[in-house]
Amino acid sequence: MTEAVGTRVVTKVAPRSGFFVYMSLAFLAVALIGFSTTFFLPLIRGTSAESPVTYVHGTLLFGWLIFCIAQASLIRVRNVSVHRRLGWLGAALGVAVVCSGVAVSFQKALAARGEDVVLGEFVVNLISFVIFGSLVAAAIVLRRNSASHKRLLLLATVFILGPAWLRFQYLFPSVANPTVVFLAMYFPLLVAIAHDVLTYRRVHPVYVWVGCFFVAYDTTLLLASQSEAWLRVARWLLGEAAV
The Cβ-side half-sphere exposure at 102, using a 13 Å CA radius, reads: 14
What is the tens place of the pLDDT at every residue in 30-77? 999 999 988 888 888 888 778 899 999 999 999 999 999 999 999 999
Over residues 65-94, mean pLDDT:
95
Q: What percent of the chain has pLDDT over 90?
A: 54
- Per-residue pLDDT band for 179 (boundaries 50, 70, 90) equals low
* pLDDT for position 227: 83
Higher pLDDT, 241 or 50: 50
What is the 3-state secondary structure of 17-70? CCHHHHHHHHHHHHHHHHCHHHHHHHHHHCCCCCCHHHHHHHHHHHHHHHHHHH
* pLDDT for position 243: 42
Task: Tell me the backbone φ, ψ of residue 133, rounded to 5 degrees.
Answer: -60, -40
Task: Tell me the backbone φ, ψ of residue 74, rounded to 5 degrees.
Answer: -65, -40
* pLDDT for position 241: 44
Measured CA to CA in angstroms, residue 75 lies from 49, 163, 166 at distances of 40, 28, 31
Q: Is 183 helix (H, G, I), strand (E, B) or coil?
A: helix
Over residues 183-210, mean pLDDT:
93
Over residues 135-154, mean pLDDT:
96
* pLDDT for position 47: 83
* pLDDT for position 117: 76
Question: For the chain, which residues make up each domain, given as ranges?
Answer: 14-237
What is the 3-state secondary structure of 145-168? CHHHHHHHHHHHHHHHCHHHHHHH
- Per-residue pLDDT band for 206 (boundaries 50, 70, 90) equals very high
